[in-house]
């Protein structure tokens, strides 16, 4: 919504089309990352608009593809049997376990979506830092150990992963979309 409680065009359009949030328009309209047959990992799937669009973008069931969401509630509209739900703390979810959820575990996922948001405390700097930490975790899951990722000890790469470059769950040539928590602090210092 925009302004002081007035519904903007995208909010009204999301309501009309049955999407759970206006963010449904962001992922495909701006980026066109998901193609029929893709394998999609949706981190922090709430309220589920990106999940709805991911399912819709896979095309008919005969095209295949899969969506794995890390959250609890699955919105029923626009979703189908290709959705698999994992209820887990993303900060403790081992990469190897995530990799096994891909339809082709040896290849990983073709698209990783992360719209994770921390539980908002109201302390601007704390909320911005937690948002960055969630983004770093998504990056760590996608590509493997990243600079600055020091607290994901359960994801220590095996020698094979290090040699083959397969430590992340995002396949080579895949797409990673990270959204961050917007705050006055992040807009001033990072925007």
Residues 39 and 111 sit within 8 Å (Cβ to Cβ): yes
The token pair that represents 13 in the structure block: 């359009």
State whether residue 29 is helix, strand or coil: helix
Residues 23 and 49 sit within 8 Å (Cβ to Cβ): yes
In degrees rounded to 5, what are phi and psi of residue 43? -90, 130
Q: How far apart are CA 48 and CA 30, in angstroms?
A: 18
Q: Is the pLDDT of residue 145 over 80?
A: no
Average pLDDT over residues 138-159: 66
pLDDT of the residue at 157: 52
Q: What's the Cα-to-Cα distance from 43 to each of 2, 7, 20, 70, 93, rounded to whole Å?
A: 26, 27, 16, 5, 11
Average pLDDT over residues 152-160: 51
Q: Which fold does the domain 26-190 belong to in CATH?
A: Rossmann fold (3.40.50)
Residues 170 and 139 sit within 8 Å (Cβ to Cβ): no
Peptide bond into 26 cis (omega under 30): no
Residues 50-94 pLDDT 10s = 888 898 899 888 888 999 988 755 556 667 888 888 888 899 999
- Strand pairing partners for 40? 67, 111
Residues 110-131 pLDDT 10s = 999 998 888 889 999 999 899 9
């Amino acid at each position: 919504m925009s302004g002081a409680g007035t519904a903007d065009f995208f909010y009204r359009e999301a309501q009309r089309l049955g999407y759970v949030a206006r963010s449904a328009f962001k992922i495909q309209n701006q980026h066109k990352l998901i193609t029929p047959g893709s394998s999609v990992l949706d981190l922090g799937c709430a309220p589920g608009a990106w999940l709805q669009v991911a399912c819709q973008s896979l095309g008919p069931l005969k095209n295949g593809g899969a969506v794995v969401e890390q959250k609890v509630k699955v919105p029923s509209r626009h979703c189908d049997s290709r959705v698999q739900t994992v209820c887990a703390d993303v900060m403790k979810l081992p990469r190897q376990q995530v990799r096994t959820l891909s339809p082709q575990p040896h290849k990983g996922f073709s698209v990783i979506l992360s719209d994770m948001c921390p539980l908002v405390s109201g302390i601007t700097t704390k909320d911005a830092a937690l948002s960055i930490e969630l983004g770093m975790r998504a990056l760590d899951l996608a590509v493997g150990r990243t600079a600055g990722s020091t607290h994901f000890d359960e994801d220590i790469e095996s020698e094979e992963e290090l040699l083959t470059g397969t430590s992340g769950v995002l396949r080579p040539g895949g797409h990673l979309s990270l959204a961050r928590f917007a705050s006055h602090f992040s807009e001033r210092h990072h925007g």
